[in-house]
């Protein structure tokens, strides 16, 4: 066993000292050790369900908590252990006084047979890194992923996404209650334009079209990362939906390069990906990832697996 640091927790009434953070070996969780080394005082934030913490926010495996202070031991028994026995996956979230992105989630681990207090080290600065990755995710696509590209008939690049909004809006239907949808959001019917059947002939055109169609589909559903009314967890969920939709769409477009589809593609599309193909794929994916009105309107209740 190796001790990383000793921290304290400041509550409304007093200060809890001698909270020792240990790992199994000296080589474990060095990233979290560096984060904790000069950040020793924490404030209580709230109780949480630690099982729902996104794994990509964690910078360590669970670390053990020990103390030689009777006051600290009583604090954990009263504020954490007893509640954990009653409510299951409950944890205590504490925030560092110096580093506003550094949090610890203290919880009771009973998997080993006895009650062991552990902590997860959370770094919210990772959210900004994720946002930067999403914003800059215009990497080159493997040429084997798509059809043989013809440099002729190139469509000029444009940053105007209004045409994508119109095409997606033509598929609009009134949305029912949804966890991710802002109140009062509705979609008006708009006619599709000729651009919906335009061929996309370069990888750059395809990636830009996919990006714009996804963002338009999210905006139509009231999911805008720039909205100040969204919580941090909702923005995380929107980024996850965007990322999964982007990757799934790119994978789906590989069907236009499969050998067993070439004859059909040559006769029907001249071997090109068209904008309406991307719109159809994105809309179906967003219905799967976001929309819940079909479930809400269903008369049958899903049954658990037997």
The DSSP string of 160-215 is: --HHHHHHHHTT-------TTSPTT---------GGGG-EE-SHHHHHHHHHHHHH
Give the pLDDT of residue 238: 87
Give the pLDDT of residue 13: 80
What does the domain layout of the chain look like in residue ranges?
A: 2-123, 127-297
Residue 50 phi, psi (nearest 5): -65, -20
Q: What percent of the chain has pLDDT over 90?
A: 16
Among 4, 108, 131, smallest CA distance to 47 is for 108
Given a cut of 90, whether residue 9 has pLDDT beyond it is yes
Altogether, the residues listed in the chain come to a count of: 306
95 touches 106 (CB < 8 A): no
Give the pLDDT of residue 268: 56
Given a cut of 80, whether residue 165 has pLDDT beyond it is no
Given a cut of 60, whether residue 177 has pLDDT beyond it is no
5 touches 60 (CB < 8 A): no
Architecture of domain 2-123: Beta Barrel (2.40)
The pair of structure tokens assigned to 37 is 């080394």
How sure is the predictor about 290, in pLDDT bands with cuts at 50, 70 and 90?
Answer: confident
Mean pLDDT check: name the lowest of 14-18, 127-131, 135-139, 192-196.
Answer: 192-196
Give the pLDDT of residue 43: 92
Average pLDDT over residues 197-214: 82
- Threshold 0.75, pTM exceeds: no
Interior CA angle at 168 toward 282 and 139, to 5°? Answer: 45
How sure is the predictor about 108, in pLDDT bands with cuts at 50, 70 and 90?
Answer: very high
Among 272, 226, 283, smallest CA distance to 249 is for 283
CA distance 161 to 192: 14
Given a cut of 80, whether residue 76 has pLDDT beyond it is yes
How sure is the predictor about 288, in pLDDT bands with cuts at 50, 70 and 90?
Answer: confident
Given a cut of 90, whether residue 169 has pLDDT beyond it is no
């Amino acid at each position: 066993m190796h001790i990383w640091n000793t921290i304290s927790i400041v509550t409304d009434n007093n200060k809890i000292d001698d909270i020792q953070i240990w790992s199994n070996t000296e080589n474990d969780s060095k990233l979290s050790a560096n984060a904790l080394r000069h950040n020793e005082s924490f404030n209580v934030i709230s109780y949480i369900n630690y099982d729902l913490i996104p794994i990509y926010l964690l910078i360590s495996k669970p670390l053990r908590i020990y103390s030689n202070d009777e006051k600290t031991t009583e604090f954990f028994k009263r504020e954490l252990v007893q509640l954990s026995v009653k409510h299951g996956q409950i944890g205590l979230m504490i925030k560092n006084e110096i580093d506003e992105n550094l949090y610890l989630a203290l919880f009771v681990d009973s998997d080993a047979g006895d009650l062991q207090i552990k902590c997860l080290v959370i770094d919210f600065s990772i959210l900004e890194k994720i946002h930067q990755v999403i914003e800059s995710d215009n990497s080159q696509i493997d040429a084997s992923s798509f059809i043989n590209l013809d440099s002729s008939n190139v469509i000029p690049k444009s940053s105007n996404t209004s045409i994508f909004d119109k095409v997606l809006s033509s598929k609009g239907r009134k949305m029912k209650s949804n966890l991710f949808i802002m109140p009062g959001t509705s979609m008006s019917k708009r006619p599709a334009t000729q651009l919906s059947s335009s061929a996309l002939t370069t990888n750059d055109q395809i990636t830009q079209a996919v990006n714009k169609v996804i963002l338009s589909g999210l905006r139509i559903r009231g999911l805008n990362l720039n909205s100040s009314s969204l919580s941090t967890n909702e923005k995380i969920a929107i980024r996850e939906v965007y990322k999964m939709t982007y990757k799934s769409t790119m994978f789906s477009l590989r069907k236009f390069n499969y050998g067993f589809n070439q004859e059909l593609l040559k006769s029907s599309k001249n071997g090109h990906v068209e904008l309406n193909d991307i719109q159809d794929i994105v809309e179906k994916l967003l219905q799967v990832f976001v929309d819940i009105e079909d479930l809400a309107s269903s008369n049958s209740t899903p049954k658990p697996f037997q």
